[in-house]
Amino acid sequence: MSIENKQSARRLLKEYAYSLGMIDKGYANRTLYIDLSGNTILEKPVTQEMKDKFTGGKGFGLKYLWDAVTPATKWNDPENEIVIANGPLCGITQYPGSGKSLVVTISPLTNMPVDSNVGGYFGPFLKFSGFDALELQGKADKDVIVFIDGNKGIVRIEEAPVDAADSHVLAEQLTEMFADSEEDKRNISVVSAGSAAEHAYIGLLNFSFYDVRRKAARLKQAGRGGIGTVFRDKKIKALVVKFVGVKGNLNHPADQGTVNRTGIKLHKEIHDLDDKQNRMRKIGTANIIEIMDEYDLLPTHNYKFGRHKDTYKINSYVFQDMVTQGMADGCWFGCSMSCAKAADNFLLKSGPYKGQKVVVDGPEYENAAALGSNIGVFDPQVVMELNFYCDTYALDTISFGTMTAFIMECYENGILNKERTGGLELNFGNAEAALELIHQISRGEGFGKIAGKGVRRMKEYFVKEYGADPAFLNDIGMEQKGLEFSEYMPKESLAQQGGYGLTNKGPQHDEAWLIFMDMVNNQIPTFEDKAEALHYFPMFRTWFGLNGLCKLPWNDITPAGNKYTSEPAKIPEHVQNYVDIFSAVTGKIIDKEELIRQSERVYNFQRLFNIRMGYGKRVHDKIPYRAMGPVTVEEYESRQERYDKQLQELLGYDPVGKSTEEKMKVMRAYREDQYEKLTDAVYKRRGWTPNGVPTLEKLKDLGMDLPEVVKVVENNL
Amino acid sequence: MVIKMIQVNGKEFPWEEGLTVAELLKRKRYSYPKIIVKINGTLVEPEEYASTAVRDGDDVKAIHLLAGG
């Protein structure tokens, strides 16, 4: 169907005109609210108190979400919201990594707030159009598109009955439809999901940016927690924003000179050092695939192992040859880190787009590990194809990989068989079966319908329907709080077990990645050291999400003089850069301590939001034993020398003459006890009770003793 | 024969005559590109790894600069 026919099928449901505003020191000072049930569109003011307490980005999103829902709200209730927010530093073009959007909703996987960050142009364009956040509440009767024209000051809700479902098609079509010319396409950004998000709970959102050299709408993903599933449940087909006139001073910072100077310094570092350090400009985050394998950290066969003999087939240099080099691959203007790599003219061999040549955005490290080693697939073509289909169908690559790895282990243990999977032989390494599984999920058919609900619900289903042993499934099912683990092997790093387990949204490494500091460098040997790291890094990293920033330019490039600093792991010069640009944009002078407190305010608020929804306490912070140690004899014996040595050195237990089962039992008791002790230390450091509830004293100290928040604390002490 | 030991990141590691920083990193499979090496508190630059000897009893720190995946 032609673009013209699609346009003519549209029916305008609501048009709202607003006055164009001026951004002042990073804030538009208003947000946009849309209720899809009644087609209501409103503007809301952003108060100084809101800025002081929540800063922006994820902070604003969580504040609005809290106000929208009740403790009884489920993910598919109309009152649930999707909030997309930018943040006060979002949209500056001088400092790399400044175009992020933060998306929050009540997750279908966890039944509590989830947050996910994403590149692409939508967040900055939303701000330049006049809004610090967009709230989407209610449910439309039929599929709709929301269009924001940031130059004319118009918001429209239109019925979209015949538009494509899958993102790589839809983003292209809508970009063409809303642009006046080829030149104008760079001024469009589309948010969309895909066909799988209509069936699976692991649906993601794609945010587009138009790549002028490729002449293609590229996609970046808000992957975690099923936000795309909520999006389609609300019958939103897409959001489209158009803004013409991006330039470097639209945030009207208080001190443009400092923003410029700080950015130039980082651009120079990237130019001079990236090729010798992480090669982000050549292969992005996938640079660490073989490094994780070397350090026994690359999840393999559902996290049983951290290394595989065939990793060389999917190492970073293989993918470096597959992606097109020399392109300006920043997902926002001015990002010289340029890590949003893509393969061009990739020929698809399966599924509804078989035979077509497409652009594949990726693979990032997480994708390569999730869609490769963790499911035993070491064919880079298959990794790329799975990556493409995850994106266009709108499936979180991490959750898809981790849940497929779980399925494969269940299959190899007889919990699943061909009869139960509808003929799919889901052994580790069966690429064809993995591809068929993803197509089934997209259609909501067969075993794909069960798989798409995620690991937690599969565990319940396998116990109920197939009589599977719940203890075994809980040990090997790599989910916590309902969210699938991201792609690092945490067994040998107690701090990283905490980095996954003692988190707000679930086991995603964006709060803390401490494996090298802990397991390799041995820099944080005591519980108190680990607790300090599990306070500082989650708070520091939360801050990116409050401001619309990407965390990669913080530590995927390191200043030459960093090695001479007293705390090189923190990369102090870059921390100071963030202090400087925040002060320069907003005019609010902060220091590195206040930066952490800004995060603490929102972090504790999110923890109490979880508690308000019935989660977020100590019992919810426990992790599956597969994340802590060897569940099976096979795993123990694969690293027997290491484990036997630990038993001797750490416990004074002589392994000689003992069976593997006996040794595993002793090892397990020890490791589980270590995790409990770590939990005690971290809660204490964060100012929480032994049950994981933030104390009133902590809230008062942070200025977050808001009446509705205090009430949650009082009800849960 | 008594095995001589050095400390690498606070843990014992066997030492041999002629051991260099480059050889030590290889044996430890420390392949990450952003590592800071210090011997007894003194920084060793990467271009000196091959020529810098590690001596019996040395305290070696090989700090991997990655605090974020």
Q: Could you list the mean pLDDT of each consecutive 10-residue stretch along chain A, which spans 717 residues?
A: 75 97 97 98 98 98 98 98 98 97 98 98 98 98 97 97 92 97 98 98 98 96 97 98 97 98 98 94 94 96 98 97 92 95 97 98 93 98 98 98 98 98 98 98 98 98 98 98 98 97 96 93 96 97 98 94 90 97 98 98 98 98 98 98 97 97 98 98 98 98 98 95
Nearest CA in chain A to B69: A513
Q: Is A513's CB within 8 Å of B33's CB?
A: no
| B42 lies within 8 A of chain A by CB | no
- Tell me the domain boundaries of chain A: 3-242, 274-484, 494-557+591-716
Q: What angle (nearest 5°) sits at the alpha carbon of residue A2, between those of residues A119 and A361?
A: 25
Q: Shortest Cα distance from B68 to chain A (angstroms)?
A: 5
Nearest to A84, CA basis, from A136, A122, A134, A151: A134
Would you call B29 an interface residue with chain A, using a CB distance cutoff of 8 Å?
Answer: yes
Say yes or no: A276 contacts chain B, CB-CB below 8 A.
yes
- Per-residue DSSP letter, A278: T
CB contact under 8 A, B11 and A291: no
User: What is the CB-side half-sphere exposure of residue A142 using CA atoms within 13 A?
Assistant: 12
CATH of domain A3-242: 3.60.9.10
A residues 292..331 contacting B (CB < 8 A): 294-295
Chain B residues in contact with A564 by the CB 8 A cut-off are: 43
Domain limits for position B50: 5-64
CA distance A363 to chain B (A): 15
Burial of A512 (0-12, 13-18, 19+ CB in 10 A): buried
Fold for the domain defined by A274-484: 1.10.569
Nearest CA in chain A to B26: A294
Sheet-wide strand order for A30-35 = A40-45, A30-35, A133-137, A82-85, A101-106, A113-118
Q: To the nearest 10°, the Cα dihedral for A705, A707, A709, A710?
A: 70
Domain A494-557+591-716 grouped into CATH 2.40.10.220: no
Nearest residue in chain B measured CA to CA from A536: B67
CB-based contacts of A496-500 (< 8 A; 24+ apart in sequence): A497/A623, A497/A627, A497/A628, A497/A675, A497/A678, A498/A530, A498/A534, A498/A675, A498/A678, A498/A679, A498/A682, A499/A534, A499/A537, A499/A538, A500/A623, A500/A627
Identify the CA nearest to A322 among candidates A288, A276, A368: A368
A-chain residues within 8 Å CB-CB of B26? none
Residues A667/A669/A673/A674 CA torsion (nearest 10 deg): 10
Neighbours of B32 (CB within 10 A): 20
User: Distance between CA A65 and CA A63 in Å, rounded?
Assistant: 5
| CATH number of the domain residue B56 falls in | 3.10.20.30
Position B68 scores a pLDDT of: 63
CB contact under 8 A, B32 and A509: no
Q: Report CA-CA distances (Å) from A270 to A338, A350, B66.
A: 10, 39, 16
Residue B42 is assigned to a structural domain of this protein: yes
Please give the residue of chain B at the shortest CA–CA distance from A511. Answer: B68
Q: Are A69 and A81 in contact (CB under 8 A)?
A: yes
- For residue B10, the chain A residue with the least C-alpha distance is A522
Phi, psi (deg, nearest 5) at residue A353: -105, 20
Nearest to A205 by CA among A319, A315, A132, A114: A114
CA A707 vs. chain centroid, Å, equals 31
B46 at A interface, C-beta within 8 A: no
Tell me how close the Cα of A165 comes to any Cα of chain B, in angstroms.
32
Total count of domains within chain B: 1
Q: Which amino acid is at A390?
A: C
Q: Give dist(CA A310, CA A431) in Å, integer.
A: 15
CA separation, residue A552 to residues A171, A330, B66 (Å) = 26, 12, 11
pLDDT one-digit tens code per residue, B8-57: 999 999 999 999 999 999 999 998 988 999 999 999 999 999 999 999 99
